[in-house]
């Protein structure tokens, strides 16, 4: 059972004192002025106090999410990407685009070609990093990014105003905008949800880890679409990760044994995507 | 020129735009109106087709519109400088310029704010900035700052209208026409020019001019922080806020020169606005030009010197790469040339100043485009620049916004007086008094057009040539890896056993961990020592059938028992299995279920950033400040209205 978060009890509407004195309308004495200013100040203070809750809710999404998550959340979804076996086939990208009805250039999971230390190249799939301290959450002017209890950063496309501030803020270039009308959509659930957004002109989109599938015990489209078993979906709470080839591992040991790293660790975003590098490979940034 | 003559001149000049408009006026208004309509049509097309029709893409997600917003809100700073700073410093020569400057400020800030609409992908939802603001977002505070500054600019523009409208309404009513007379009577109701009224108005204006300066600074600072609060190269710079503010002042003064020149010529105000005014504005502009060149240099030098991967790439593109031609065009045409035009004595005249201003305004727009497009089109993962090709749509919208400035000003000054009559009269009176007092002493400025001395030192700043070395040493951190997988490869051997052994698994929770015990017996029922048993955890988290996670393995002892201690991560019923694979045989497995009551997940959420709580306090402080500003601004209007009413009643009572 989930306990309801306690809301501060909201009192009745604080209206202006009824029956404004007619004297006040005539000569405004100094005392009246002071009283008026006092009432205004009190109103301002009330407004401020009522904003304070908003402020706390909006200012520290990480903190509030953490406070609840520490007790409540049953999962902490993450991804492990084993670059040693990625051959750059882009099967993940195609599976994702098909599932989410995306245009070719909207690569929610994008496979970058990177240079390794020996001068060769390697392939690096990049989904949303699902940062625990996500820059996009801070920067969105209307708070259209939501973070689920399970740690998934999702876009509320019903709220997005299309300011693209998140695109500027994302250090991983993981966000894609619907610059024109989306492709004709087939087999989409009628209402768009943050977990399964339906593309819509003028709003931003990004990888959602197939958040609608995870609670059902299904794998994200990219994970099951990877023929090499590169992509693992994992849960930091239960400490288990699986890939599309049926491999199941103890997450913490898998990460430790393979010296997993996170992309742009130095930014302090605490991404939830771990990379296992092959010899000479580095994420360089 | 006597006071009376100048005053009459100022009043008469202010009435000029109210006459029957000339053919030229109509032609100009129609032409500008057509440009504005084209822009609106372009915006409608963009609404229907999406922002893609404006040339935007994921590689250039911010471009021309945000540069327009910065530019147009920036040029409104001219009003703040010329009016507020000059008022506070007691520069009396400002008087004939203030109304034009303040009008320009109001008009351009409104256009700049409106340009946010085409910049937004979903403008119909802009109201969400009010209904569901994210208080940690710079763009939200942009919105607050722009709204507050707009309101401040309007108050700053409107308050001095009270005495002017009173004078014109009472003494020149027949020239005003019916509608203006009604409006003027309403605005100036109660104003009789009593000393107490003058004192209150001067106090209110003094306060608002003090307030308008930090307000203007705040707007461009927050606009800069919308860029600087991201981890993008060049945007993420501490110098951006002050640089934005200086850029705004610089282009703002240039626009004031252009507006003043336009109205001076259109309404023949040469008697009131002299070349001296242009030269003085030019000096302000040159100071700001030198400051801006300095700040640009300071912005680019450290990044080029250290050569972080992203910053080096962006600066290379800017200084010697694809954007170099535009950058150096800005540096020379928008920075050095205006400075020279002011510095050289033979171009230090109306024509020279107007030419300089004509160069500055579009070049500052160009600089903003470079500042936006360079980092926005840089892919911070691959280090490759995307392409941005603006289509006719954003160009039409930008031209429309540009045309809207003169159009709105021409319409505005059909309604309100072109000159700040009261200010001119007051200053003239003051000067007359001081002339009487200091009759014997020589005044420092006798000839109006005399060029001020010592201004040649301004040239010193112009030789700051940018000699930024493209230091592009990329620091690569090589992480050496190469690890064995945890998959266990059982050695394959030839021998086979005739009958399968048996394994039984028991699990007991004790002391926060699960003790798994597997007993291995041979087909003959004897304990099987020195055999490796694998322990597995069963999970249905990723679907059914259950998946088995290998927890580890242990070797059986002499009694055929293998043990593994497992620290459970979640509570509840959990399935475990033990597997033994005899050489050449099928694996044998035994399962058990343990009711786990004590579990400890290895996962710890990342700690909150230490400054997050400071941010909360900052938000509250900002709201308090914004509320105080709005209340103070409203109070100034209320104060002036009240003194009008009170003094009028006193006058009526005594009469």
Taking only the tens place, the pLDDT of each residue in A197-228 is: 999 999 999 999 999 999 999 999 999 999 99
Residue B541: list chain A partners with CB under 8 A.
Answer: 75, 217, 235, 238, 240
CB atoms A163 and B120 under 8 Å: yes
Q: What is the model's pLDDT at position B171?
A: 84
Q: What is the model's pLDDT at position B478?
A: 33
Here the contacts of B339-344 (C-beta below 8 Å, separation 24 or greater) are B339/B286, B339/B289, B339/B290, B339/B293, B339/B458, B339/B459, B339/B461, B339/B462, B340/B459, B340/B462, B341/B282, B342/B282, B342/B283, B342/B285, B342/B286, B342/B289, B342/B455, B342/B458, B343/B286, B343/B455, B343/B456, B343/B458, B343/B459, B343/B462
Nearest to B94, CA basis, from B261, B277, B283, B270 = B277
DSSP labels for B578-597? EEE--TTS--EEEEEEEEE-
3-state secondary structure of B171: helix
CB atoms A257 and B481 under 8 Å: no
Q: How far is A19 from chain B (nearest CA, A)?
A: 22
Q: B606 in contact with A at a CB cutoff of 8 Å?
A: yes
CB atoms A135 and B56 under 8 Å: no
pLDDT-flagged residues of chain B (< 70):
1-8, 439-499, 652-655
Residue A253: list chain B partners with CB under 8 A.
Answer: 486
Nearest to B588, CA basis, from B540, B533, B539, B524 = B533
Rounded to two decimals, the pTM is 0.81
CB atoms A217 and B612 under 8 Å: no
Place of tokens 């006092």: A38
What radius of gyration, in Å, describes the C-alpha atoms of chain A? 24
Residue A257: list chain B partners with CB under 8 A.
Answer: 483-486
Closest residue to A217, CB basis, from B482, B485, B541: B541
Which tokens go with A5?
Answer: 């978060």
Closest residue to A177, CB basis, from B61, B125, B231: B61
Mutation target to probe the B interface, by most B beta carbons within 10 A, among A65, A239, A260 is A239
Mean pLDDT of A272-280: 93
Closest residue to B602, CB basis, from A171, A239, A268: A239
Q: What is the model's pLDDT at position A129?
A: 96
Residue of B nearest to A69 (CA): B605
CB atoms B380 and A285 under 8 Å: yes
Query: What per-residue string of b and e applies to B598-637 under the rule 16 or more CB within 10 Å gives b?
Result: ebebebebeebeeebeebbeebbebbeebbebeeebebbb
Mutation target to probe the B interface, by most B beta carbons within 10 A, among A38, A107, A141 is A141
Is residue A41 over pLDDT 90? no
Q: What is the model's pLDDT at position B475?
A: 29
Is residue A11 over pLDDT 90? no
Nearest to B73, CA basis, from B149, B134, B7, B15 = B149
User: What part of B 420-479 touches A (C-beta under 8 Å)?
Assistant: 476-479
Residue of B nearest to A267 (CA): B231
The distance from CA A96 to its chain's CA centroid, rounded to whole angstroms, is 17
CB atoms A279 and B481 under 8 Å: yes
Q: B648 in contact with A at a CB cutoff of 8 Å?
A: no
Contact A55, B619 (CB under 8 A): yes
CB atoms B122 and A249 under 8 Å: no
Mind listing the domains of chain B with CATH numbers?
A: 3-21+56-388+414-435+623-647 (1.20.1630.10), 502-596 (2.60.40.10)
Residue B548: list chain A partners with CB under 8 A.
Answer: 248
The distance from CA A202 to its chain's CA centroid, rounded to whole angstroms, is 18
Q: What is the model's pLDDT at position A122?
A: 93
Closest residue to A236, CB basis, from B121, B603, B609: B603
Residue B374: list chain A partners with CB under 8 A.
Answer: none
Count CA atoms within 13 Å of residue B50 on its CB side. Answer: 17
Closest residue to B609, CB basis, from A133, A240, A252: A133
Closest residue to A142, CB basis, from B119, B132, B476: B132
Count CA atoms within 13 Å of residue B238 on its CB side. Answer: 1
* Dihedral angle sign, alpha carbons of residues A90, A91, A96, A97: positive
Q: What is the model's pLDDT at position B62?
A: 94
User: What part of B 160-219 touches A (C-beta under 8 Å)?
Assistant: none
Cα gap B265→B393, rounded to integer Å: 33
Q: Is the reported ipTM for this assembly greater than 0.90?
A: no
Q: B497: Cβ–Cβ under 8 A, 6 or more apart, which residues? A: B523, B582, B583, B584, B585
Residue of B nearest to A135 (CA): B230
Nearest to A136, CA basis, from B222, B60, B230 = B230
CB atoms B309 and A284 under 8 Å: yes
Cα gap A77→A80, rounded to integer Å: 10
- For residue B179, list its beta bridge partners: none
> What does DSSP say about strands A77-82 and A273-276: parallel, antiparallel, or unpaired?
parallel
Mean pLDDT of A242-246: 92
Output DSSP code: residue B467.
-
Q: What is the model's pLDDT at position B545?
A: 83
Cα gap B498→B513, rounded to integer Å: 38
Q: State percent of chain A over pLDDT 90.
A: 62
Cα gap B381→B269, rounded to integer Å: 58
Closest residue to B479, CB basis, from A135, A176, A261: A261
Nearest to A175, CA basis, from A141, A128, A217 = A128
Secondary structure of B326-365 in the HEC alphabet? HHHHHHHHHHHHHHHHHHCHHHCCHHHHHHHHHHHHHHHH
Residue A284: list chain B partners with CB under 8 A.
Answer: 309, 476-477
Q: How many CB atoms lie within 10 A of CB B37?
A: 13
CB atoms A48 and B570 under 8 Å: no
CB atoms B376 and A28 under 8 Å: no
Q: B471: Cβ–Cβ under 8 A, 6 or more apart, which residues? A: B304, B305, B306, B307, B312
Closest residue to B231, CB basis, from A51, A63, A171: A171
Q: Which regions of A24-98 does DSSP assign to beta strands (E)?
A: 77-82
Output DSSP code: residue B85.
I
Cα gap B535→B590, rounded to integer Å: 10
Q: B627 in contact with A at a CB cutoff of 8 Å?
A: yes
Q: What is the model's pLDDT at position A190?
A: 66
Place of tokens 């002299």: B274
Distances (CA, A) of B567 to A80, B536, B564, B594, B602: 22, 13, 10, 12, 10
Cα gap B558→B531, rounded to integer Å: 10
CB atoms B619 and A59 under 8 Å: yes
């Amino acid at each position: 059972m989930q306990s309801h978060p306690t809301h501060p009890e909201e009192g009745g509407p604080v209206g202006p004192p009824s029956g404004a004195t007619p004297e006040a309308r005539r000569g405004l004495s100094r005392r009246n002025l002071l009283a008026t200013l006092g009432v205004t100040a009190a109103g301002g203070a009330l407004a401020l106090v009522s904003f304070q809750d908003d402020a706390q809710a909006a200012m520290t999404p990480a903190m509030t999410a953490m406070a609840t998550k520490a007790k409540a959340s049953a999962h902490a979804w993450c991804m492990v990407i084993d670059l040693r076996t990625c051959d750059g086939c882009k099967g993940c990208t195609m599976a994702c685009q098909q599932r989410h009805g995306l245009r070719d250039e909207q690569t929610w999971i994008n496979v970058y070609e990177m240079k390794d230390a020996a001068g060769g190249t390697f392939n690096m799939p990049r989904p949303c990093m699902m940062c625990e301290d996500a820059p996009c959450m801070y920067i969105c002017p209307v708070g259209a990014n939501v973070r689920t209890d399970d740690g998934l950063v999702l876009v509320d496309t019903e709220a997005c105003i299309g300011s693209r501030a998140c695109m500027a803020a994302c250090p991983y270039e993981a966000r894609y905008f619907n610059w024109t009308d989306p492709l004709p959509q087939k087999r989409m659930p009628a209402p768009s949800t943050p977990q399964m957004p339906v593309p819509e002109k003028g709003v931003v989109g990004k990888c959602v880890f197939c958040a609608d599938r995870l609670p059902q015990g299904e794998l994200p489209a990219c994970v099951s679409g990877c023929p090499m078993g590169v992509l693992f979906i994992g849960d930091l709470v239960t400490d288990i990760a699986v890939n599309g080839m049926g491999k199941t591992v103890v997450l913490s040991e898998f990460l430790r044994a393979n010296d997993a790293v996170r992309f742009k660790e130095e930014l302090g975003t605490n991404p939830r995507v771990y990379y296992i590098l092959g010899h000479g490979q580095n994420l360089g940034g | 020129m006597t006071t009376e003559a100048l005053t009459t001149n100022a009043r008469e000049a202010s009435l000029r735009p109210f006459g029957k408009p000339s053919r030229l006026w109509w032609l100009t208004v129609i032409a500008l109106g057509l440009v504005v309509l084209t822009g609106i049509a372009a915006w409608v097309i963009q609404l229907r087709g999406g922002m893609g029709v404006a040339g935007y893409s994921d590689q250039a997600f911010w471009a021309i519109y945000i540069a327009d917003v910065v530019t147009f809100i920036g040029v409104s700073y001219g009003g703040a400088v010329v009016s507020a700073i000059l008022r506070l410093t007691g520069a009396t020569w400002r008087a004939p310029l203030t109304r034009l400057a303040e009008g320009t400020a109001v008009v351009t800030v409104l256009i700049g704010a409106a340009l946010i609409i085409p910049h937004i992908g979903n403008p119909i939802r802009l109201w969400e900035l009010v209904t569901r603001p994210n208080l940690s977002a710079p763009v939200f505070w942009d919105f607050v700052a722009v709204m507050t500054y707009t309101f401040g600019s309007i108050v700053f523009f409107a308050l001095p209208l009270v005495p002017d409208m009173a004078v014109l309404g009472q003494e020149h009513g027949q020239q005003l026409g019916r509608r203006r007379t009604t409006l003027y009577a309403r605005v100036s109701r109660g104003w009789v020019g009593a000393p107490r009224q003058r004192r209150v108005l001067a106090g209110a204006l003094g306060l608002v001019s003090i307030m308008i300066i930090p307000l203007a600074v705040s707007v461009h600072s927050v606009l800069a922080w919308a860029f600087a609060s991201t981890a993008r190269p060049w945007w993420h710079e501490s110098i951006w806020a002050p640089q934005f503010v200086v850029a705004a002042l610089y282009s703002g003064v240039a626009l004031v020169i252009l507006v003043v020149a336009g109205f001076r010529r259109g309404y023949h105000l040469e008697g009131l606005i002299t070349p001296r005014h242009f030269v003085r504005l030019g000096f302000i502009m040159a100071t700001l030009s030198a400051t801006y060149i300095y700040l640009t240099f300071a912005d680019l030098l450290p990044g080029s010197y250290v050569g972080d991967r992203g910053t080096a790439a962006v600066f290379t593109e800017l200084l010697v790469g694809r954007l170099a031609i535009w950058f150096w065009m800005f540096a020379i045409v928008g920075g050095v040339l205006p400075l020279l035009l002011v510095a050289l004595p033979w171009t230090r005249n109306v024509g020279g100043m107007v030419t300089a201003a004509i160069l500055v305004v579009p070049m500052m727009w160009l600089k903003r485009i470079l500042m936006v497009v360079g980092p926005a089109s840089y892919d911070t993962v691959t280090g490759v620049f995307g392409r941005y090709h603006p289509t006719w749509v954003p160009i039409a919208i930008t031209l429309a916004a540009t045309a809207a400035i003169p159009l709105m000003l021409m319409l505005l000054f059909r309604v309100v007086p072109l000159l700040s009559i009261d200010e001119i009269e007051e200053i003239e009176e003051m000067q007359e008094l001081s002339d009487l007092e200091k009759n014997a002493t020589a005044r420092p400025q006798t000839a109006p057009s005399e060029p001020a001395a010592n201004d040649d030192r301004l040239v010193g700043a112009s030789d700051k040539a940018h000699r930024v070395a493209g230091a592009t040493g990329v620091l690569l951190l090589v992480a050496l890896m190469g690890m064995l997988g945890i998959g266990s490869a059982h050695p394959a051997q030839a021998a086979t056993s005739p009958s399968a052994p048996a394994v039984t698994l028991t699990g007991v929770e004790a002391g926060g961990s699960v003790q798994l015990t597997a007993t291995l017996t041979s087909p003959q029922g004897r304990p099987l020592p020195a055999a490796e048993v694998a322990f597995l955890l069963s999970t249905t988290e990723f679907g059914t059938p259950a998946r088995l996670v290998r927890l580890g393995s242990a070797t059986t002892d002499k009694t055929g028992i293998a043990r593994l201690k497992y620290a459970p991560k979640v509570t509840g019923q959990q399935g475990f299995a033990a597997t033994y694979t005899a050489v050449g045989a099928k694996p044998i497995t035994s399962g058990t279920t343990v009711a786990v009551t004590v579990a400890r997940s290895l996962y710890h959420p990342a700690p909150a950033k230490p400054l997050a709580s400071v941010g909360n306090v900052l938000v509250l402080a900002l709201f308090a400040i914004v509320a105080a500003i709005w209340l103070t601004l409203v109070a100034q209007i209320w104060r002036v209205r009240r003194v009008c009413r009170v003094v009028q009643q006193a006058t009526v009572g005594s009469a």
